[in-house]
Amino acid sequence: MTPEEMEEVRPRLEAFAAEMLGSLARRDQRAKGEMYLRGLMLDGKRKSMQPMAERLGVDHQQLQQFVSSSTWDYSKVRERLARWAAAHISPEAYAIDDVGFPKDGYDSPGVARMYCGALGKRGNCQIGVSVNLVSDRASSAVDWRLFLPESWDDTKHGEDLLLAEAIRRRRAKAGIPAAARHREKWRLALDMLDEACGEWELPDLPVVADAGYGDATGFREGLTERGLTYAVAVKATTTAHPGDATPERPPYSGQGRPPVSSYPQPHTTLRALALAAGQAATRTVTWRQGSKSTKHNPRAEMRSRFLALRVRPANRSIRRATDGSLPECWLLVEWPPDSAEPTDYWLSTLPADTPLRELVRIAKIRWRVEHDYRELKDGLGLDHFEGRNYLGWHRHVTLTSLAQAFCTMLRLDPKAPASA
């Protein structure tokens, strides 16, 4: 925003900040929080401390102290944001996503050589995992975790005393609390869903995620254990039985341990199951309206051909029922008419009577998060934080999420007058 645009909406921003930052005990903390939000939203290429302070006309030490060393609980702010988002954007799913923060040097907490989407390759970066409340019209990143690789967890290197001690010094320098340890990204996502649905009492909604999470059997089973349905992307090589397959118990010879029930036919891949059904079994589905119209698609409808089959995912990690059967779920496949084979695969535990269009719409709803992530990164400086402090990182991403939520509020209600 330009300074003039900011002045026009500032009364609304102050009211929004007062609501979101109401858990902060001190008035000066709430004022600095509102100031930080203004700094994130004002026009400018960099949203790190010093450039923001220059645009705001303040000493950058004020911002630095507020984010890195002041005493306030970012989790309480996130809870207020989550409740606001649940009330204002009518969320239809929880979207799990992660984002890379390219970094120079090795002192920032969690930094390591990993694949970074922002770089399009492996590089020096941090990885942040987020839980987003999402609908087709808006999304809000309501919770965050910083992924800590094993190289940041001294308990993973206990046999190498010198390395473990070096990691402890590194953790202490970055202010990483003792309880923060290496956990797979999908486990961090489950932790955040526990916080959202348990402590914050948000509604149970379907969970959507890309194959980085969907391919983790533990993640899918963890969602089911929590009573959450899902529609998650998976690889074509994921193994499964057809939905109508049933286990059989071989006859008992009377000697040794009785045999257990098993499926008479070996499992196959999702790709093979889709190809066996054939492209003729697909149906055209329109799941939303896009923004780019063409001569042949004047309404910019997002449509493709899809196939839905009942399947039973199969691997050694999936728990079976007492009769030896594997859980049944949906396999959703996108198979564009001009493609020789399917291009995308999802597994879903949405109810068995869910219409195909609804399956597709929920599986595809992640597009909104990807769209809004661009605003978080390009417009609001999500990955511009230059501090080397674990607490500071979590506070920065929380405040960036608040700034994005305020922009969403303006977008959903652009003609509402600014309060006096």
DSSP string over 34-100: HHHHHHHHSS-S--SHHHHHHHHTS-HHHHHHHHHTS---HHHHHHHHHHHHHHHS---EEEEEEEE
Is the model's pLDDT at 416 over the cut of 70?
no
| pLDDT digits 0-9 by tens, 269-288 | 999 999 999 999 999 999 88
State the Rg of the chain over Cα: 24
Over residues 58-73, the mean pLDDT reads 89
The predicted structure's pLDDT at residue 49: 86
* Amino acid present at 127: I
pLDDT tens sequence across 379-415: 899 988 888 899 999 999 999 999 999 999 999 886 6
| pLDDT above 70 for 419 | no
**3-state DSSP assignment of residue 274:** helix
Q: Would you tell me how many other CB atoms lie within 10 Å of the CB of residue 325?
A: 15
Distance of alpha carbon 245 from alpha carbon 276, whole angstroms: 15
Q: What is the pLDDT of residue 110?
A: 94
Q: What does the pLDDT look like over 236-261, one tens digit per residue?
A: 999 999 999 998 887 776 677 777 78
Three-state SS for 48?
coil
3-state secondary structure of 56: helix
> How many residues comprise the chain?
420
236 C-beta neighbours (distance < 10 Å), count: 18
> Which letter, b or e, does each residue of 135-172 get, where b requires 16 or more Cβ atoms within 10 Å of its Cβ?
ebebbbbbbbbbbbeebbbbebbeeeeeeeeebeebbe
How many other CB atoms sit within 10 Å of the CB of residue 200?
A: 18
Confidence of residue 418 (pLDDT cuts 50, 70, 90): very low
Average pLDDT estimate for 42-56: 88
